[in-house]
Amino acid sequence: MSIRPEAPADVAAIAELVRRAFDGHPHSDGSEPGIVDGLRADRALSVALVAEVDRRVGGYVAASPVRIAGRASSWHGLGPVAVEPALQGRGLGAALVQAALAQLRAAGAGGCVVLGEPAYYGRFGFAPLPGLVYPGPPAEYFMALAFGDTVVQGEVAYHAAFGGAR
Ligand SMILES: CC(C)(COP(=O)(O)OP(=O)(O)OC[C@H]1O[C@@H](n2cnc3c(N)ncnc32)[C@H](O)[C@@H]1OP(=O)(O)O)[C@@H](O)C(=O)NCCC(=O)NCCS
């Protein structure tokens, strides 16, 4: 398995992989492949990494800038994260999340937020951050990982490609 930036030749395989990974997911409305395409079309993918397994796209992670309190910020939103169903549970997801966080840190990001399962994202250091809020889901599902000690506060807004979903 190797992790590398997405390439133009991966685009169709990424959309299919993301669709399969979220198919039947309880919190999915099937919008995830379109979110990735929308972020890419708007050049808003701050992270777009592929986990390549046997020369195929086995996993994918994206991140995009978020706005905080109505203003552009140095923070990013992680997701979607997707691993081919047959390859789940082998550490690909963890490797992708770690690589995405390392890339954001190296790029000077202030931090990263994620909307997801606390039991999964907690292992990477994500936790609810008082004052940093996302309207809608129960507070424990919206988590943050600060890369520095700058205090951030306010409501977080994802890129428009997430539509009403995020
Ligand atoms: C979530 C996902 C990316 C994890 O990828 P993965 O390669 O299976 O993850 P890893 O192998 O690194 O980690 C597996 C661990 O995560 C746990 N896990 C996976 N999905 C989980 C979830 N939704 N909630 C809690 N734990 C979860 C597994 O139980 C396993 O736990 P263990 O290490 O204690 O045995 C993958 O399961 C997936 O694509 N799911 C469908 C899409 C999705 O839900 N994406 C995340 C929301 S943006």
Q: Is residue 165 part of a domain?
A: no
Does the N-terminal peptide bond of residue 85 adopt cis geometry, omega within 30 degrees of 0? Answer: no
Assigned domain for 73 exists: yes
pLDDT of residue 150: 85
Q: What pLDDT was estimated at residue 166?
A: 53
CA gap 25, 162 in Å, rounded: 17
Task: Check residue 44 and give its pLDDT.
Answer: 98
Helices (H), 23-139: 32-41, 92-106, 118-121
Residue 56's domain is classified under what CATH number? 3.40.630.30
3-state secondary structure of 88: coil
**Shortest-distance Cα residue to atom 8 of ligand 1:** 88
Which of 17, 23, 88 maximizes ligand 1 atoms within 8 Å of its Cβ, making it the mutation to test the pocket? 88
Answer yes or no: is 13 within a domain: yes
Task: Kindly give the number of the ligand 1 atom that is closest to the alpha carbon of 32.
Answer: 48
pLDDT attached to residue 116: 95
User: How far is ligand 1, taken at its centre, from the CA of residue 9, in Å?
Assistant: 26
| pLDDT tens digits in sequence order for the chain, 166 residues long | 999 999 999 999 999 999 999 999 988 999 999 999 999 999 999 999 999 999 999 999 999 999 999 999 999 999 999 999 999 999 999 999 999 999 999 999 999 999 999 999 999 999 999 999 999 999 999 999 999 988 899 999 999 999 855 5
Rounded to two decimals, the pTM is 0.95
pLDDT at 120: 96
Which of 52, 83, 142 has most ligand 1 atoms within 8 Å of its beta carbon, as the pocket-test mutant?
A: 83
Q: How many domains does the chain have?
A: 1
The two beta strands, 56-68 and 154-157, are antiparallel
Q: Is residue 166 part of a domain?
A: no
128 occurs within a structural domain = yes
Cβ neighbours of residue 110 under 8 Å, at least 6 residues apart? 73, 74, 75, 146, 147, 148, 150, 152
In a domain, 148, yes or no: yes
Residue 150 within a domain: yes
CA distance 103 to 78: 12
Instruction: Tell me the residue range of the domain where 111 lies.
Output: 2-159
> Would you state the pLDDT for residue 154?
98
